[in-house]
Amino acid sequence: MKRRLTPKTIDALPPATGKRYEVYDQLLPGLHLRVSATGGKVFYVSSRINGRMKRIKIGSWPILTLHDAREKARSLLRSIELGRYVEKAPHEEEQRMMTLGEVVPQFIELYAKQRTKDWKGSERMLLKFSSLFSRPIDEIKRADVVRVLDTIIADGAATRANRALAAIKKLMNWCIDRGMIETSPVAHLKPPTKEIARERMLSDAELTTIWRMAELEGFPFAQWIQMMMLTGQRRGEVSGMRWSELDLVNGLWSLPSARVKNSSAHIVPLAPLAIDILKKVPRFHNSEFVFTTAGTTSISGFGRLKQRLDAAFADAEDWRFHDLSRTMATNMAMLRVAPHIIEAVLNHKSGIVSGVAAIYNRHAYLDEKREALELWAKKIGELTRTTSSTTNALPASPLSSASQTMPDWPHSATI
């Protein structure tokens, strides 16, 4: 079909119902837009070269604007008319086309590491598509991706299929931006499974069990779990805690924006029970990390840790470390802490405080947050029969294989 192309008409073009279709520009003969079944729109120019009609790819909409497409088409048509156009050999494009296995490391290095804190999670999800790694990136079809997602679901990891799809979508869009492909094979592909928000809250008995099991772990996992329980912050934020972030004299933990999921700097008041725990943590010489076994990196191995803790649970598959945060928030509500204060403690942005108020309240509610966290720490202390004066001496015989050999710390644990 022929139509006077405008940005508005291009946006309104529907995806092809079957075979892709083309819309020719009335203003510039030869320029046309090809629309695929996934909704991808690519500019081409057609002209006769050496007696044969040729179709030359220009670029994809909306990365390439209509104005730019027309200018590029005019330049190509002028070169053809003057006999200056040099036709590329068919094998040249093939030589430049990378496989998915070659693209993934580039995507992680150039995009994910720069923009995503959980880039390792993205890398793990993309490894799920290893069966497609030998394929050129432009030959991967929608059905290929769907088959991989079906395999993930069949293995009993339905929500991981959603994460895998999100990761491959980002990668394909990145490939479009870099000109590797013109359209994404997974554009508009819906998540394969519907996710239900977790509502699991740990009971008082379960909280006591986790605390006691943590004590048996010894340093560093014992104190890490207890700080998770007392502060309600995210796993990575607590495990990556730095000494420079702590002010134990004033009972404050200041999280910089670079270490927070929503990129908003966050101040967590520390209850006396939390301060006592941190004062007894051994400190590695010249190391910033509070929870570490080598001094050079923060702790890891949370999967193995949870397996050890699971031994005390009747239904070990039913709880996660993140449930500690939800449990704290629910208990704070039961203790009559206001919802916006709970949000402030958790550094959440759900809209209770928004707009200009959110900007001016960035450092507000410090006293209210301290009161809420001290109420929660008091309940934990009562549940575990622990007082701030007798808290958390380091166990002599830890169970954790990661902490069986303790180094000699040159510094005292007290800061």
The predicted-structure confidence for 211-256, as pLDDT tens digits, reads as follows: 999 999 999 999 999 999 999 999 999 999 999 999 999 999 999 9
Is the separation of the CB atoms in 373 and 271 below 8 Å?
yes
Q: For CA atoms 116, 302, 291, 243, give the dihedral sign.
A: positive
**What's the rounded mean pLDDT across residues 376-397?**
64
Mean pLDDT over all residues of the chain? 84
pLDDT at 388: 38
**Band of residue 51 on the pLDDT scale cut at 50, 70, 90:** confident
The answer to the question of residue 294 being in a domain is yes
pLDDT at 24: 92
Residues 78 and 124 in one domain: no
The answer to the question of residue 413 being in a domain is no
pLDDT digits over 109-155, tens only? Answer: 989 988 877 788 899 999 999 999 998 998 999 999 999 999 999 88
Residues 346 and 250 in one domain: yes
The answer to the question of residue 93 being in a domain is no
Residues 44 and 155 in one domain: no
- Distance, in Å, from the CA atom of 77 to the CA atom of 29, rounded to the nearest integer, reads 10
pLDDT at 297: 92
Place of tokens 């949000």: 343
Place of tokens 């808290």: 391
Residues 78 and 121 in one domain: no
The amino acid at residue 307 is: Q
The answer to the question of residue 374 being in a domain is yes
What would the two tokens of residue 138 be?
């432009």
Residue ranges making up the domain that contains 72: 2-87
- By DSSP bridging, strand 31-35 and strand 2-3 are unpaired
pLDDT digits over 158-187, tens only? Answer: 888 999 999 999 999 999 988 888 889 999
pLDDT at 168: 96
Q: Is the pLDDT of residue 359 over 50?
A: no
* C-alpha closest to that of 314 among 206, 162, 213: 206
Is the separation of the CB atoms in 409 and 283 below 8 Å?
yes
Residues 122 and 11 in one domain: no
Place of tokens 């192309």: 5
pLDDT at 258: 85
The answer to the question of residue 186 being in a domain is no
Residues 139 and 58 in one domain: no
Residues 317 and 397 in one domain: yes
Is the separation of the CB atoms in 300 and 291 below 8 Å?
no
The amino acid at residue 348 is: H
Residues 211 and 232 in one domain: yes
The answer to the question of residue 198 being in a domain is no
Lowest mean pLDDT across 46-55, 157-166, 262-271: 46-55
Is the separation of the CB atoms in 105 and 123 below 8 Å?
no
The count of domains in the chain is: 3
The pTM is what? 0.56
DSSP state of 262: T
Question: How many other C-beta atoms are found inside a 10 Å radius of the C-beta of residue 118?
Answer: 12
pLDDT at 407: 40
